[in-house]
């Protein structure tokens, strides 16, 4: 796993205090944390497929929002704030089959003090685009 040096302390805190969550249930595994890019993998398994054996669009959206939320949170300067999704859209452009692994790459479009917008692209093992998503996040007090 790669962690950008200037955010290492924040990432380690996140990894140490993070409760069990949807990402765990879906098998999301982070591979890289940077202030302008967050990456993770997700298996296409019984937890992430639709009834016909292909990656469920909702699982893709969950991966996208997870990456966007963490990316936004890494860019919040105040400790008493967090990022929450307020809008997300996704275009599913290619199927991924059970047994494969997909990976997502999330990058910022806008990093403001009250809102952030992140784009996530999800690829299959052949590096072909499976889904592209845009997520708007609100920065709120916790």
pLDDT on residue 17: 79
Q: 40-47: which pairs have CB atoms within 8 A and are 24 or more residues apart?
A: 40/66, 40/67, 40/103, 40/104, 41/101, 41/102, 41/103, 41/104, 42/101, 42/102, 42/103, 42/104, 43/100, 43/101, 44/96, 44/97, 44/98, 44/99, 44/100, 44/101, 44/102, 45/98, 45/99, 46/98
Low-confidence ranges of the chain (pLDDT < 70): none
The answer to whether 55 and 95 are in contact (CB under 8 A) is yes
Its domain, for residue 117, covers 2-14+21-141
Catalytic residues: 65
Number of domains making up the chain: 1
pLDDT on residue 107: 98
pLDDT on residue 16: 85
CA distances from 10 to 25, 75, 82, 110, 115 (A): 23, 10, 12, 21, 20
pLDDT on residue 131: 98
Output the domain CATH number for residue 87: 3.10.129.10
pLDDT on residue 13: 85
């Amino acid at each position: 796993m790669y962690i950008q040096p200037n955010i290492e302390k924040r990432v380690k805190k996140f990894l140490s205090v993070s409760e069990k969550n949807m990402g765990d249930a879906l098998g999301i595994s982070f591979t890289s944390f940077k202030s302008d890019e967050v990456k993770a993998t997700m298996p296409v398994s019984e937890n992430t497929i639709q009834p016909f054996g292909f990656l469920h669009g909702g699982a893709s959206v969950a991966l996208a929002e997870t990456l966007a939320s963490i990316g936004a949170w890494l860019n919040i300067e105040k400790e008493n704030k967090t990022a929450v999704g307020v809008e997300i859209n996704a275009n599913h452009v290619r199927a991924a089959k059970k047994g494969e692994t997909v990976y997502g790459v999330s990058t910022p479009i806008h990093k403001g003090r009250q809102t952030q917008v992140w784009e996530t692209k999800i690829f299959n093992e052949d590096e072909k685009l499976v889904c592209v998503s845009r997520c708007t996040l609100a920065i709120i007090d916790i």
